Structure 1
Amino acid sequence: MTFELVLMATAIHILIWEKLPEWGTWFNTFIAALPRLLSSLYEQWHCPYCAGFWIALVLHGLTGFWTIPDLASLPGYLGVTATPVGWILDALATATLVYAAIIGLKAIGLPAMKAHMMKEDFMKSAFKGEDV
Structure 2
Amino acid sequence: MNITLALMGLSIYILFWEKLPDWGNWFNWIIERLPRPLAYLYEAWQCPYCFGFWIALALHGITGLQTIPALESMPSYIGIGGTAIAWILDALVTATLIMFGQLCLNAIAVPAIKGYQMTMEFKQSFKEDSIDSL
TM-score range, shorter chain: over 0.9
TM-score normalised to the size of structure 2?
0.95
Which residue does the alignment assign to 2:70? 70
Aligned counterparts, 1:8-27, within 5 A: 8-27=8-27
Q: How far, CA to CA, are the matches of 1:61 and 1:53 in structure 2?
A: 13
* Partner AA of 1:99 in structure 2: M
Which residue does the alignment assign to 1:111? 111
Greater C-alpha radius of gyration:
2
Q: How far, CA to CA, are the matches of 2:114 and 2:31 in structure 1?
A: 31
TM-score normalised to the size of structure 1?
0.96
The count of aligned residue pairs is 130
Q: How far, CA to CA, are the matches of 2:35 and 2:107 in structure 1?
A: 34
What is the alpha-carbon root mean square deviation over aligned residues?
1.0
Aligned counterparts, 1:89-108, within 5 A: 89-108=89-108
Which residue does the alignment assign to 1:55? 55
Aligned counterparts, 1:21-40, within 5 A: 21-40=21-40
Task: List gaps (5 residues or longer) in structure 2.
Answer: none
Q: How far, CA to CA, are the matches of 2:20 and 2:77 in structure 1?
A: 45
SS in 1 for 2:79: helix
Q: How far, CA to CA, are the matches of 2:90 and 2:121 in structure 1?
A: 46
Give the share of equivalent positions with the same residue, in percent. Answer: 53
SS in 2 for 1:67: coil
Q: State the Cα distance separating 1:127 from its structure 2 match.
A: 2.2
Q: State the Cα distance separating 1:89 from its structure 2 match.
A: 0.3
Q: How far, CA to CA, are the matches of 2:113 and 2:122 in structure 1?
A: 14
Task: List gaps (5 residues or longer) in structure 1.
Answer: none
